[in-house]
Each structure stands twice: as structure tokens, then as C-alpha cells.
Structure 1
Amino acid sequence: MNDLEPAAAVEEALRGNGISVESLSLEESVSLTYLTAFPDVEPDHGEVGRAVTALLELTGGDWEPITVEATVLRSESDVQATWRLEADWIRAYNDGALNDEELSQRVLDSLYEEGGE
């Protein structure tokens, strides 16, 4: 991680991957809310992937993996979806126990579309 405060470094990494961060907090987990560039009915998997990639890149340095709870907004008060990235998944990925496809599938399996089941 760079010399920024942890939350600022996470936000910078996300913004650098084209994620429009609305709010971010780091406590027991990362709580991330971002405004999608694709306000369709379904969330854009590529955009979710870019957010995950940004977070994974941070764990290659000094940042200890923690669970990420993400909320995707179409607009300020319109939630499109939520998704999770578990700390254990990050560790398994970094250790080589999960490949790109397996990690992606876990994140997509956690995806909950508002108005969906």
C-alpha cells in the first residue's frame, strides 16, 4: 500500500480502475458504495471485476485482506445490487488455492440484484 491512509489508498485504487466511489469505510470489513456507469437492470460483471481487481492489487502489499461488502447504485437512492468479496477468498486466491475463474464465480454467486431473489 502507498503512503495514503488506508481508506484513501483503497479509494484511489478503485477510482484508478474506473469505479465511482460514493462512500467507503474500513472497520471490521470494507463497506463500499459506488455509482455504476451501467445503470441497467442487471449489474455489469466487468465493472464488478474491475472493483475486485483493484482490491486484490492492494492485498499484494501491506494490506491484510478483509471482507468487502459492496453496494452498487444506479443513482443516489436507487440500489442496483450488492456483492461480497470474503477475506478467506482473497487469501486463497493469493495463495494459489483459487484461480481467477473460481474467485470470480464466488463473487458473482454472492451478487444480489435488487428486486431479484
Structure 2
Amino acid sequence: MNDLKPRAAIEEELRGNGISVESISLGESVSLVYLTSFPDVQPDHGEVGRAVKAFLELSEGEWDPKTVEATILRSDDDVQATWTLEAEWIRGYNEYRLDDYELTDRVLDSIESEDAQ
């Protein structure tokens, strides 16, 4: 992935996994904001999993994994939750040091619902 297109490639991969991207910022980490298809009190774990899957698929190519800080919106100004996918977890998964269950547990444990705060 060249330096001019990483954001577009990330957005394309996320949209291909059914994630409605609102914004993506790249820096030391990836800041992702997306609109949920499930505007309930708690985030839909399947939808979070599809977003994680997109980043795992990207890491199989030329993308060097970065920590992902995701914000889930119910609507424009209504935050449902946040979650994190650490770069080290992506590397650990790709190097078979973490299995599906361990990675899933770490991501789900990182979820912070706005209603719970």
C-alpha cells in the first residue's frame, strides 16, 4: 500500500465488510468513526467483529498494523461505544500467538459503552 492511498484502502476494506465509515484519521494510530446498523444500548459484537476482520485482512497485505481506536455512532452526535484493537494484537494474531478467541476477548473487553459511563 503506497503512502497516498492507505486511508482509501482502509475505508474500502471496512465498507466491504459492511461498516458504514463516517471518518478515518491516520497518525500513530488509526482513528475510526462509524455509524452502526444496530443503534441499541450496547454495540453489536458481530459488527465490531466485521470491523476487526477488515483490519486483519489489511494486515495480510502491505499495511503495517497500527492500533485502531474506534468510535461507534448511533447517529451524528450520539456515541454508542468505543473499542480498541492494539497493533500488537494484530501482529500476535498474524504470528499465531493469539487465536480467534483470545483476540475477540481482548477487543470485546476494550469496549466502553457511553451509557455505562
Q: Taking structure 2 as the reference length, what is the TM-score of the superposition?
A: 0.96
Asked if the contact 1:7/1:25 (under 8 Å) is kept, the reply is yes
Aligned to 2:68: 68
Cα distance 1:2–1:57, how it changes in 2: closer, same or farther (>3 A)? Answer: farther
Aligned to 1:43: 43
Cα distance 1:53–1:4, how it changes in 2: closer, same or farther (>3 A)? Answer: farther
Q: Tell me the amino acid that sits aligned with residue 95 of structure 2.
A: D
Aligned to 1:113: 113
Query: Matched residues in 1 for 2:79 and 2:15: separation?
Result: 20
Query: Matched residues in 2 for 1:54 and 1:101: separation?
Result: 17
Aligned to 1:15: 15
Using the aligned pairs only, state the percent identity: 70
Query: Matched residues in 1 for 2:19 and 2:3: separation?
Result: 21
Matched, 1:57 2:51: no
Aligned to 1:81: 81
Count of residue correspondences:
117
Q: Taking structure 1 as the reference length, what is the TM-score of the superposition?
A: 0.96
Displacement of 1:46 after TM fit?
0.1
Instruction: Point out 4+ residue stretches in structure 1 off by more than 3 angstroms.
Output: 1-4
| 1:21 partner SS | strand
Asked if the contact 2:69/2:85 (under 8 Å) is kept, the reply is yes
Gaps of 5+ in 1: none
Query: Matched residues in 2 for 1:101 and 1:4: separation?
Result: 34
